[in-house]
Amino acid sequence: MSGGQADALPVHFGVGDKVRVRVAHPPGHLRTPWYIRGQRGAVERICGAFANPEELAYNRPGLPRQPLYRIRFRQTDLWPDYAGPKTDTVEVEIYQHWLEPDEAAP
Amino acid sequence: MSGTHHHDHDHGHDHPHAHPTAPDADDLMGYYQLMEVAVRELLIEKGVFTGEDIRRQIERMDGANAGRGGLLVARAWTDPAFKARALADGSAACREIGLEVGALKLIVVENTPSLHNLIVCTLCSCYPRPLLGLPPDWYKSRAYRSRAVREPRAVLAEFGTVIPDDVEVRVHDSTADMRYLVLPRRPDGTDGWSEEKLAELATRDSMVGVALAASP
C-alpha cells in the first residue's frame, strides 16, 4: 500500500505538509475536480499508492503507482462568498502528480 | 389521442379512451447502452462469463443495503476499541465483524459534538456500496454533487439537518480510490441497547451524513 514498493513512486509529502494542487487541463479521464485545481491545502493522510487512473482509463497499467493523499482545504479559501464558519472544510483525494509544495505557505 | 376509433362496438365505459402512455424507459437505447449490450453479448459468446454470472452479480449488488453499514456503526457505538480500529482501517474493521467488502478501501469518519461529516462524489457517484447498497438517485444528481461542496449547510438544511455554526462541517469528496462512511453520533436514550437494536438507528442517510442517526 504505502510507498517504497518497487512499482510505487516514493512518497513526497507528509501529514500536515502544505501543498498546492496543480493548475492543468490535460485531456482524458481525470480524478482531480476542477474546483480544487490551484487551491492550497494540507495533507490530512496518505492513503497508499494506486495505479494512475488517467492511464487505467485507456487500458494501460498505470504504473508506477501514484501515492494518493487526502488534502484538507478550508471552505472559505475555495469559495470567497462561502456561507458558513471559517472552520468548515473539504477533503479531497489527490494523486501525487497533481500536487506541488506550497512555497507561499507560512 | 387522435380520437379515430375504428371499432364499431358500443363505446361504453368498459372500454376507456386510449390515453398517451409514457414510453417504456428501455425503448430508448442510447449509444452507450447499445455498446454495453454488444460488448456483453460478445463476452458471453466468447465464454468470458455467462448470463447467469451477470444476473448473480446484479442480484448481489441490488441485495446489499444499509443494514450492513448499520452493523459496523452499532459495533463501533458499543465497543470503543473496535471503534478505534474502524477509524484506523475501515475495511479491516468490516472483515473483523464478518462483513465481506471485497476490494473496498473504506475510511470511516466520526461525527463528534464539534464535527459533522458529509459524503459526496463530485465526479460521479462513488459510494460504499457493499455497506450501503446502491446510491439513492439524489446522491447521483448534479445538484447534490455540486452543491454539497459549495453550500453544504444549505444542502443539509434541506434534508432537515441543521448544523450549528460552532460545529465544523467537513465534506469528503470521494474522487479516487477510497470510499467513506460516516459514523454518526449515538443517540441519547440508548444506554444498554443491544447492537441489533442500535443498528436500526444507523440509517442510510445518517451514514452518508445528510442526517443524524434516528432517535429511539
Domains (range + CATH), chain A:
18-101 (2.30.30.50)
pLDDT tier at B21, thresholds 50, 70, 90: confident
B2 part of a folded domain: no
Same domain, B50 and B101: no
Q: In this structure, which amino acid lies at residue A44? A: E
| Surface of A (68-97) touching B: CB under 8 A | 68, 70, 75, 78-79, 82-85, 87-95
- Residue-wise pLDDT for A20-38, tens only, equals 999 999 998 899 999 999 9
Give me the phi and psi of B119, to 5 degrees please. Answer: -105, 140
> What is the interface pTM, i.e. ipTM, of the complex?
0.93
CB spacing of A85 vs B165 below 8 angstroms: yes
If you measure CA to CA, which chain A residue comes closest to B123?
Answer: A33
Same domain, B97 and B169: yes
B12 part of a folded domain: no
If you measure CA to CA, which chain A residue comes closest to B149?
Answer: A90
Has B94 been annotated as catalytic? no
Same domain, B86 and B46: no
Same domain, B69 and B56: no
CB spacing of B152 vs A84 below 8 angstroms: yes
Same domain, B157 and B103: yes
* B179 at interface of A, judged by CB pairs closer than 8 A: no
Has B141 been annotated as catalytic? no
Q: What is the pLDDT of residue B207?
A: 98
CB spacing of A92 vs B173 below 8 angstroms: yes
* B152 at interface of A, judged by CB pairs closer than 8 A: yes
Number of Cβ pairs closer than 8 Å across A and B? 74
B15 part of a folded domain: no
B94 part of a folded domain: yes
B122 part of a folded domain: yes
| Cα distances (angstroms) measured from residue B130 to each of B79, B116, B127 | 22, 23, 9
Number of folded domains that form chain B: 2
A96, A67 in Cβ contact below 8 A? yes
Mean pLDDT of A99-106: 88
Same domain, B83 and B181: yes
Same domain, B80 and B115: yes
Read off the C-alpha cell for B173: 469528496
B1 part of a folded domain: no
Of A95-99, B28-32, B81-85, B200-204, minimum mean pLDDT range: B28-32
| Cα distances (angstroms) measured from residue A52 to each of A39, A98, B17, B68, B161 | 21, 11, 59, 30, 37
- Best probe of the B interface among A91, A96, A97, by most B CBs < 10 A, is A91
Catalytic residue among B91, B94, B126, B206: B126
pLDDT tier at A104, thresholds 50, 70, 90: confident
What single-letter DSSP state applies at residue B41?
Answer: H
Q: What is the pLDDT of residue A4?
A: 46
Same domain, B118 and B178: yes
Same domain, B48 and B96: no
A68 interaction partners in chain B (CB closer than 8 Å): 176-178
* B174 at interface of A, judged by CB pairs closer than 8 A: yes
Has B91 been annotated as catalytic? no
Of B152, B107, B31, B199, which Cα lies nearest the Cα of A87? B152
Mean pLDDT of B148-168: 98
To the nearest whole Å, the CA of A31 is away from the closest chain B CA by 6
Q: What is the pLDDT of residue A16?
A: 97
Which CATH number do you get for residue B107? 3.90.330.10
| Cα distances (angstroms) measured from residue B118 to each of B144, B147, B171, B184, B205 | 11, 12, 5, 10, 10
Residue B11 has pLDDT above 60, yes or no: no
pLDDT tier at B12, thresholds 50, 70, 90: low
* B161 at interface of A, judged by CB pairs closer than 8 A: no
B160 part of a folded domain: yes
Domain of B78, in residue numbers: 65-208
B115 part of a folded domain: yes
A97, A12 in Cβ contact below 8 A? no
Nearest by CB to B176, from A79, A82, A95: name it.
A95
Same domain, B35 and B83: no
Same domain, B74 and B96: yes
A45, A72 in Cβ contact below 8 A? no
Same domain, B81 and B152: yes
